Structures are given as C-alpha cells and as structure tokens.
Structure 1
C-alpha cells in the first residue's frame, strides 16, 4: 500500500487544525465551511479513512505520533463538518 510522505500529512493536519480553530472561534467567513470540508476530505484521502477522527489517528501513525496533544485532538474531533461532496462536484474546481 502506498503511504503519503509524513511532511505532506503534517501539512494537511496543520491546515485542518487551523481551519477547525477558526470554526470553533465563530469565524463567520462564508468560505470556511467549504474549506474545512475540503481539509477533512484531503486528510481522509491521504490516510485512506472515511471520517476525521480516523484520519487524525492514522495521521499520528504516519507521522510517528508527534504534533497535537491528545486533549487538543479530542476537542477538535468533535467539530462537526459536512461529509465530502461526490467526486463529480470536485471535477469542475480549479
């Protein structure tokens, strides 16, 4: 099975946490929900999982367990996001 490069996974996790933090902070940006959905989708694809909790757990395995504390992970795992859109919706995006 192919595995993503740890630096790629770390960058995707960092991006997810940045967006999740903005969402938790009541950021009212109209684009934020879609950006967060895209970040979740990317993490799921990179890790071969279907939900954010599994993707974050897998990312810790890929990256050797470093990074965010368990308390931080548990807090952001509860942030609700929309499920990924069908692949057809993504085809037209640049």
Structure 2
C-alpha cells in the first residue's frame, strides 16, 4: 500500500516547518512534533531514517504526476483535463 502523494506532500511541508521551528530553539513540544513527523514519514515511505524517508517521499511526489496521467489515459479521460 502506497501513501497518497497529497499526504506525503503535507508531511514534507510539516517536516520543513518543524525543522525551521527547531532551528529557532529546541522546545519540548516542537521536539515531540518533529519526532512524530519523522516517524510518520518513515512509516509512510517504508524507510528507517529521515534522510531515506525524505528521498523516498520526494521521489514519490516526482512520479505522482506520471501515475495520474497513466490512470487518466487508461480510463479514457483526456490528459489535458478537457473532454474530447
């Protein structure tokens, strides 16, 4: 089962936001939120560390548009989003 690209995009955005907050100061709640996001990214990407999770998530997001286009072509929808 693969995590939906929208979920991965949201997790990456949250990770980047938490990273910036953490850089401002390692507060308890921020630290816990960062740990939660790191854990969720790792689980969502099937990896064991944040570096691998970030690479996997970004790679998945980079190919998500291709999968959407293939699905659209497979069910007869126009790729441009307009009906023919």
Q: TM-score, normalised by structure 2?
A: 0.70
Question: Whose RCO is larger (CA < 8 A, sep 6+)?
Answer: 1
Q: Deviations over 1:16-62 (max 9, x none)?
A: 11001100122x53211111000000000100000000000000111
> Using the alignment, how far apart are the partners of 1:57 and 1:40 within structure 2?
13
Moved segments of 4+, more than 2 Å: none
Task: Determine the C-alpha separation between the residues in 1 that align with 2:4 and 2:28.
Answer: 32
Per residue, is there more helix in 1 or in 2?
2
- 2:8 counterpart residue number: 9
Structure with max Cα Rg: 2
Q: CA separation in 2, counterparts of 1:43 and 1:63?
A: 13
* 1:3 alignment partner, SS class: coil
Question: Residue 36 of structure 2 aligns to a residue in which SS?
Answer: helix
1:82 aligned partner:
none
Q: Distance in 1 between matches of 2:15 and 2:58?
A: 14
